[in-house]
Amino acid sequence: MNLTLPGQAQGLPLPVKVLELVQPEALVLLLGLGLLLALAWRRERGKGPTYLRPIPGFEAARKAIPASAETGKAVHLSAGTGSLGAFTTLPTLAGLELLAPLIQQAATLGSAFLTTTPSPLVMLVLESKVRRAFRAAGHPEEFAPTQVRFIGDAPTAYAAGVMGALTRENVASNVMAGAFGDEYLLMGETAARKGIEGIVGNADPSVLPFALASADHLIMGEELYAAGAYLGRKPWHRASLQAQDWLRLGLVGAILLAVLLKTTLGVP
């Protein structure tokens, strides 16, 4: 029985015949997973690089909690108008990942804060994060139900409720990260009129112009999904950022190699 490799009839070089047997998607997935595991292992052992390029939005979010502790004002935290189990799941999870270290920081420093959401599922997640934060800080009795508020079940109703909270409460900073629609402009404009520092994280191109016009600091696009690495400083998250950078370099190298093979060897 003769085994004929793909491309053998065309008389292509043996390396090209072997490459035709490899699925590019599977190869990239395996390389990415292996790179991620290697980088995460190095970071767990404290051997990986620690530098991340500065992103002003994350720096402002990190400083908002200590500033509120000094002034006695509260910080409003929101994971967006999306929910879990829908098309807004990914940005909502990214928003929760950004809020988690801020909640822990507030519980540790004793800063006043309130979290709001229009989703019952997100409310349960936020309540769990707040309870765990106070427990980790050593004073679980300081948890108050009013720190996690369910406002409405629709984006416009939620925006109206947040506008009221920003107007009535003594708020110094407004941190909103996740999925938003046009209703964001109502909340962002209210915070801007009240002189409340606005820190917004969003990846929707239709919302970014509104956020840029009304927020003091903007975490835009894929920056939103790096919150765990910048604020949480988790080894796996930082290793993921490194793996993505290496994969980008690898893809650029693969494209250059393909162009070289096409122009010099005539490989299709």
The 10s digit of each residue's pLDDT in 42-91 is 655 555 556 677 888 889 998 999 998 888 899 999 998 988 887 889 99
- Give residue 134's identity as a one-letter amino acid code: F
Q: Give the tens place of pLDDT for each residue, 136-163.
A: 989 888 898 889 999 988 889 999 999 9
Quick count: other Cβ atoms within 10 Å of Cβ 152? 17
Residues 154 and 70 in one domain: yes
Residue range 190-209: mean pLDDT, rounded: 91
Of 177, 166, 199, the C-alpha closest to 80 is: 177
pLDDT at 267 over 70: no
- Give residue 118's identity as a one-letter amino acid code: P
Of 51, 187, 211, 192, the C-alpha closest to 219 is: 211
Residues 226 and 254 in one domain: no
CATH number where 190 lies: 3.40.50
* Domain total of the chain: 2
pLDDT-derived band at 255 (thresholds 50, 70, 90) equals: confident
pLDDT at 87: 84
pLDDT at 215 over 70: yes
pLDDT at 42: 61
Alpha-carbon distance 214 to 180, whole Å? 14
Residues 118 and 195 in one domain: yes
**DSSP per-residue codes, 134-155:** HHHHT-GGG--GGGEEE--SSH
Position 249 in a domain: yes
Of 114, 99, 117, 113, the C-alpha closest to 62 is: 99
Residues 126 and 211 in one domain: yes
3-state class of 85 per DSSP? coil
pLDDT at 229 over 50: yes
Residues 218 and 119 in one domain: yes
Quote the pTM value: 0.74
Give the chain's mean pLDDT: 81
pLDDT at 196: 92
Residues 240 and 110 in one domain: no
Question: With b meaning 16 or more CB within 10 Å and e meaning fewer, what string describes 153-172?
Answer: eebeebbbbbbebbeeeebb
Torsion of CA 150, 223, 249, 90, to 10 degrees: 10
pLDDT at 9: 47
CB of 74 within 8 A of CB of 81? no
Q: Within a 13 Å sphere around the CA of 251, how many CA atoms are in the beta-carbon half?
A: 11
3-state class of 116 per DSSP? strand
Of 221, 167, 182, 163, the C-alpha closest to 81 is: 182
Residue range 157-171: mean pLDDT, rounded: 92
Kindly report which listed range (11-15, 160-164, 177-181) carries the lowest average pLDDT score. Answer: 11-15
Of 66, 102, 106, 77, the C-alpha closest to 198 is: 77
pLDDT at 153: 82
Position 37 in a domain: no
Kindly report which listed range (19-33, 51-65, 88-102, 167-181) carries the lowest average pLDDT score. Answer: 19-33
CB of 200 within 8 A of CB of 209? no
Q: Which structural domain range is residue 257 located in?
A: 234-268
- Residue for token digits 């910080």? 75
pLDDT-derived band at 23 (thresholds 50, 70, 90) equals: low
DSSP 8-state secondary structure symbol assigned to residue 194:
T
Residues 245 and 187 in one domain: no
Report CA torsion sign: 97, 236, 244, 89: negative
Element (H, E) at 176: strand 171-179
